[in-house]
């Protein structure tokens, strides 16, 4: 079983909150952005869950995830409308009350001051609610902040706002060893011929993660072999062995750097 | 709490299996495709989980989901390489053995017959493994089938293959009432002014699901208000009420049909 504490790994889970994802209306992209961001900070994303805008569902998933992993990042449900219930659910999960954070109220007041005829209303005040004991997660965009409480970070669902909030999360994470990864690309050979040499190299390097991700694009088929690990030297050695093993099996490869 | 049996709802969960999703390397699109497909068949997607290629993690998530929802659809991990362990995990979850399905073996043999020099190997045989008691999920594409056992459907992770397999899933689903949905688009007004009229209409129509999904695109901001329900007549009436309520609050709307 995977554990937050095993061999120095620092782990996180993502909890995506929103009917719009489960109905298929909206394509989630936050999971991938968060995964990459955490990777850079040496934190492994170990699990993700998507739940509907239902109070008890959010609480149950949040409690399961925050007990098991070092960090939980939630997305969605912190806007001003009646279906934005994330703050209520997070407060309930931690057994604390919500209060209107004066800094958020001030921020909203400053924004509406520039819009004649617009007055503070209940919906705007809703976005200022933060659980007692929580701290703000600020962003550079013109949107109310998210918040953090315990090991949980509560972020917006709108991708541009979520990404801006992430920048105020990284410095609070206790990072593990950063994972390095490289890709070896095989074209014109299927997974069924790659499998044996790949498995032999995987067995010889149990500390490395070797994955095979087949593609079929514009008439070209093949597989991207992704090597991932903590030790850059072992990663480099593993790549050399893998390319040699594939060559012995008559398979030509292209080495690629991964995007950072 | 949501339940698979509550008020005639038929529910499903999606279990996405794969390190490549949790590392951020791959953007998942299967969840959205499955959600839309299930919606058309009157099945509500109630939860989704993403787990790594770890035997015990797949088993634990699968057992939790299949006990709770009417159906579970898994994606990923059914290829020929050592990290493709979904069949093993599903068989273990059901407490049964795997066997090589003769139809898949025949299909692979037929395919390699046309490729001189290629012989059946262990990796290819790996893709023919199906749990005892399972049935095949066939597709129109040149890939080994998925399978179904109990209330679980095991599908490929490659989107084109997954979508082709889905076509062999729908006719096996006991569908609930099909949900109808429509969108009312608001431009130039933020959620903070929409919230009050939206909530009033939502309270008056508890059988309808009303969600607000803000956007900010190319300088235009606003929100898509999505109405969803079982009863097309109530949906039509709710839209009329919502547009009137928004108009009373000085908010102009555009009515949009949803894609089917």
CB A256 within 8 A of CB A185: yes
B218, pLDDT greater than 90: no
Q: Return d(Cα B170, Cα B146) in angstroms, integer.
A: 14
The pair of structure tokens assigned to A161 is: 């706002």
Structure tokens at B233: 């007549």
Given a cut of 60, whether residue A3 has pLDDT beyond it is no
Q: Is the pLDDT of residue A260 over 60?
A: no
Taking the C-alpha atoms of residue B38 and residue B41, their distance in angstroms, rounded to an integer, is: 5
* pTM of the shown model: 0.83
pLDDT tens-digit profile of A242-252?
999 999 999 98
Band (B46; pLDDT cuts 50, 70, 90):
very high
Among the partner residues A35, A57, A80, nearest to B192 by beta-carbon distance: A80
Structure tokens at A75: 């997305």
- The torsion of the CA quartet B239, B242, B248, B254, rounded to 10 degrees, works out to -60
Q: What percent of chain B lies above the pLDDT cut of 70?
A: 96
Task: Give residue for tokens 């410095």.
Answer: A171
Q: Does B55 touch chain A (CB under 8 A)?
A: no
Taking residues A16-20, report their average pLDDT. 96
pLDDT digits (tens, 9 = 90+) for B108-158: 998 888 888 888 899 999 999 999 999 999 988 878 899 999 999 999 999
Put simply, whether B181 touches A (Cβ < 8 Å) is yes
**Which run of H or E residues covers position A112?**
helix A102-113
Lowest mean pLDDT among A45-54, A126-135, B249-258: B249-258
Average pLDDT over every residue of A92-114:
94
pLDDT of residue B254: 80
A57 and B160 in contact by Cβ < 8 A? Answer: no
Nearest CB neighbour to B39, from listed A24, A33, A39: A24
- Residue % of chain A over a pLDDT of 90: 63
Alpha carbon B53 to chain centroid distance? Answer: 19
Position A2 pLDDT exceeds 70: no
| B-chain residues near A24 (CB < 8 A) | 31-39, 45
**CB-based burial label for B65 (10 Å; 0-12, 13-18, 19+):** buried
- A48–B22 CB contact, under 8 Å: yes
B256 pLDDT band, cuts 50/70/90, is confident
Q: Which of A82-86, A168-172, A176-180, B150-154 has the lowest mean pLDDT?
A: A176-180
Superfamily name and number for B6-172: MoaB/Mog-like domain (3.40.980.10)
Return the minimum-mean-pLDDT range out of B130-139, B158-167, B172-181, B230-239: B172-181
pLDDT at B15 over 90: yes
Note the pLDDT of residue A173. Answer: 93
B79 pLDDT higher than 80:
yes
What is the average pLDDT score of chain B? 90
Domain ranges of chain B: 6-172, 180-257
Residues of B in contact with A33 (CB under 8 A): 24
pLDDT at A257 over 70: no
> What DSSP letter does each residue of A156-217 carry, written as one string?
-SSHHHHHHHHTTTGGGS---PPPEEEEEEEES--HHHHHHHHHHHHHH-TTSEEEEEEEEE
Residues 121-140 in B contacting A (C-alpha not used; CB under 8 Å): 121-124, 126-127
Q: Is a pLDDT exceeding 50 seen at residue A105?
A: yes
* Nearest chain A Cα distance for residue B22, angstroms: 6
Answer whether A20's CB lies under 8 Å from B36's CB.
no
Q: How far apart are CA A184 and CA A242, in angstroms?
A: 9
Q: Considering only residues B215 and B20, tell me which one the structure prediction assigns the higher pLDDT.
A: B20
What local confidence, expressed as pLDDT, does residue B116 receive? 82
A200 touches chain B (CB under 8 A): no
Per the DSSP assignment, residues forming a β-bridge with B161 are: none
Residue scoring higher pLDDT (A23 or B115): A23
Q: Identify the pLDDT of residue A7.
A: 61
Query: Which residue in the set A23, A28, A45 is minimally distant from B22, CB to CB?
Result: A45
Of residues B23, B79, B127, nearest to A39 (C-beta): B23
Q: Tell if the CB–CB gap between B121 and A192 is shorter than 8 Å.
A: yes
Topology of A180-257 in CATH?
A: Alpha-Beta Plaits (3.30.70)
* Complex ipTM value: 0.82
CB contact under 8 A, B19 and A211: yes
Q: Among the listed ranges A3-7, A68-72, B160-164, which one has the minimum average pLDDT value?
A: A3-7
Instruction: Say yes or no: do domains A6-172 and A180-257 share a fold.
Output: no
Q: Over 50: is that where the pLDDT of A6 sits? A: no
Give me the pLDDT at residue B257, please: 67
Query: What residues are paired with B99 via a beta bridge?
Result: B130
- Confidence category of residue B258, pLDDT binned at 50, 70, 90: low
Taking residues B214-227, what's their average pLDDT? 82
When pLDDT is averaged across residues B221-241 and rounded to a whole number, the result is: 90
Computed over every residue of chain A, the mean pLDDT equals: 90
pLDDT in tens, A201-211: 999 998 888 88
CA distance B219 to chain A (A): 14
Rounded to a whole number of angstroms, the distance from the CA of A105 to the nearest CA of chain B is 13
Among A94, A159, A160, A158, which residue's Cα sits nearest to residue A127?
A158
**Over the stretch A110-144, which tens digit does the pLDDT of each residue have?**
888 888 888 889 999 999 999 999 999 998 887 88
Residue B249 makes CB contacts below 8 A (sequence gap 6+) with B193, B194, B196, B197
Of B29 and B4, the one with more pLDDT: B29
CA distance B137 to chain A (A): 20
Helices (H), chain B: 19-22, 30-40, 55-68, 86-94, 102-113, 122-126, 159-166, 191-204, 232-248
The two three-digit tokens of residue A71, written as one number = 């960090």
pLDDT in tens, A213-242: 888 777 788 888 988 888 899 999 999 999
Q: What is the per-residue pLDDT for B119?
A: 87
Region of B179 (left: φ > 0; alpha: ψ -120 to 50; beta: rest) is beta
């Amino acid at each position: 079983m995977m554990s937050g504490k095993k061999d120095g790994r620092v782990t996180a889970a993502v909890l995506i909150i929103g009917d719009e994802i489960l109905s298929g209306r909206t394509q989630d992209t936050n999971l991938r952005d968060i995964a990459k961001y955490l990777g850079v900070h040496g934190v492994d994303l170990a699990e993700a869950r998507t739940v509907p805008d239902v109070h008890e569902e959010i609480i149950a998933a949040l409690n399961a995830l925050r007990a098991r992993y070092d960090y939980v990042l939630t997305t969605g449900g912190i806007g001003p409308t009646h279906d934005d219930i994330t703050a209520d659910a997070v407060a309930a999960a931690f057994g604390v009350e919500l209060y209107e954070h004066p800094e958020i109220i001030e921020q909203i007041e400053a924004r509406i001051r520039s819009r004649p005829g617009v007055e503070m209303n209940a919906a705007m005040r809703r976005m200022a609610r933060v659980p007692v004991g929580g701290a703000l997660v600020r962003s550079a965009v013109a949107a109310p902040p998210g918040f953090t409480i315990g090991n949980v970070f509560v972020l917006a669902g709108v991708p541009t706002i979520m990404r801006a909030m992430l920048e105020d999360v990284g410095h609070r994470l206790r990072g593990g060893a950063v994972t390095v990864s490289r890709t070896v690309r095989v074209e014109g050979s299927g997974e069924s011929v790659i499998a044996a040499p790949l498995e032999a190299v995987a067995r010889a390097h149990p500390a490395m993660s070797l994955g095979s991700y087949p593609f079929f694009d514009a008439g070209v088929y093949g597989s991207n072999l992704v090597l991932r690990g903590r030790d850059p030297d072992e990663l480099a050695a593993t790549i050399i062995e893998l390319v040699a093993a594939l060559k012995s099996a008559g398979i030509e490869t292209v080495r690629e750097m991964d995007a950072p």
